[in-house]
Structure 1
C-alpha cells in the first residue's frame, strides 16, 4: 500500500517538478544575463572616465579623480583586456 501511494504521489507531482526545474533554469539564465550586463556597464563606465586614452572626450579631471578610488577593479580589467587583445593581434608580428 505504501509503495502504491509513493508511486501515485511520484506521478502526480511530476508536472510540478518539471515546472520547478524549468523555473530554476530560467532564473539561472536571466541571472547570468544580468551579470553580463552589469560587467558591460562597468566597462562602459570605465571607458567614459578613462576615455582620454582612446580619444573619447572625458569628464572634468576633478570628477575623474573623485571616482578613481572606486575604479581600481575596472582599471585592472581594462588593462588586462588591452594587453590580451594586443598580444593576440600582434603576436604573429613579434612586436
Structure 2
C-alpha cells in the first residue's frame, strides 16, 4: 500500500494521530499499547508475535493491533521504519 492511500484510508476510519516509528535491528519483549494501531511498513521488516501466531511484515505491508493486545516484536537486520496510525 502507498503512504498517501494509507493515510487517507485510516483518516476515513477515524484515525487522527500518525507517528513515524524507526527501530534498529533487535527485538522488543511482549507488551501492549493503550491505543489501537495500524501500521504501514515503509522500509525494513518486522516480525510480530501475537495470539500465538508469528507473522513477518515488509515494505508495503500493513498490520493491525487492537488496544491492549499483547505482542512481541522482532526487527530485521536493517531495522524497520513504519507509519503508525493510532486511535
TM-score interval, smaller chain: under 0.3
Structure-1-length-normalised TM-score:
0.20
TM-score (norm 2): 0.21
Which structure would you say has the larger Rg?
A: 1
Greater relative contact order structure (CA < 8 Å, 6+ sep): 2
